[in-house]
Amino acid sequence: MIARCGIMRAMNQTAMNSPLTKALLVLASVLALLLGLWAARQLTHTPAALPAFISGTALPTPRPLTPFTLTDHHGQPFNLERLKGAWTFLFFGYTHCPDVCPTTLSTMNSVTKKLAAAKLSGAPVRVVFVSIDPERDTIQHLAEYVPYFNKDFLGVTGTPAQVDAFTKQLNILHMRGSEPASDGNYTMDHTASILLIDPRARFSAIFSAPHVANAITQDFLSLRKYYEDP
């Protein structure tokens, strides 16, 4: 038994000294070194920074939206699936708004014209106006109001509960700002920001008032390039 072990040790020693074995050991060492360098790079690698915005803020991690149910001004369901496959600018307001809402929709009309002039490929861009005043903003009223600013803009409404559920997940504040006047008219206080939803239905950026068409356009193009370029 002892003699046999001695013979095996001698054979192992001979094998270790062979050119093939030495080459394999060198190769294994090189592979181990490369693997270590790759692991170190993965641990220290940081992704490209988000583009700096002029008029808004890009979310470091886009936030997926949860299912919701609303209705567009064509009478068709507007839900989570409708947000997929396109870049969507969401603005929350009401048709009786005296200043901020019409001004913002006019600004977004300018933005869409600038983007159309850029002849972008890939996911399309659209603008959706979400009413926070469902008591007065009927489907018919939205159909008359929203296309006035741009025929491709989409107006969206729902029951008060549906609107509340959608605005809550996006942190959009809204409430009645005054008691009804003698003619029944009243104002609404609401968040004036524009939200950007990416083609995967994720909340990706927010543009705070005051809104400037050139700045929003440039910010959007920067963010689109960041996400869509290989």
Q: For 33-62, what is each residue's pLDDT tens digit?
A: 445 444 444 433 334 677 788 888 999 999
Structure token pair of residue 161: 């509960």
CATH 1.10.8.60 assigned to domain 56-228? The reply is no
What is the Cα–Cα distance from 90 to 104, expressed in whole angstroms? 11
Separation between Cα atoms, residue 89 and residue 82, nearest integer Å:
13
- Residue 54: predicted pLDDT: 83
pTM: 0.77
pLDDT in tens, 158-197: 999 999 999 999 999 998 887 777 777 899 899 999 999 9
The answer to whether 128 touches 121, Cβ cutoff 8 Å, is: no
Query: For the chain, how big is the Rg over CA atoms in Å?
Result: 30
Task: Identify the pLDDT of residue 41.
Answer: 45
- Cα dihedral across residues 99, 78, 184, 190: positive or negative: negative
Every domain of the chain and the residues it spans: 2-44, 56-228
Under 8 Å between Cβ of 110 and 116: no
Report which of residues 150 and 43 the model is more confident about.
Answer: 150
- Label the pairing between strands 188-190 and 87-93: unpaired
Burial of 59 (0-12, 13-18, 19+ CB in 10 A): middle
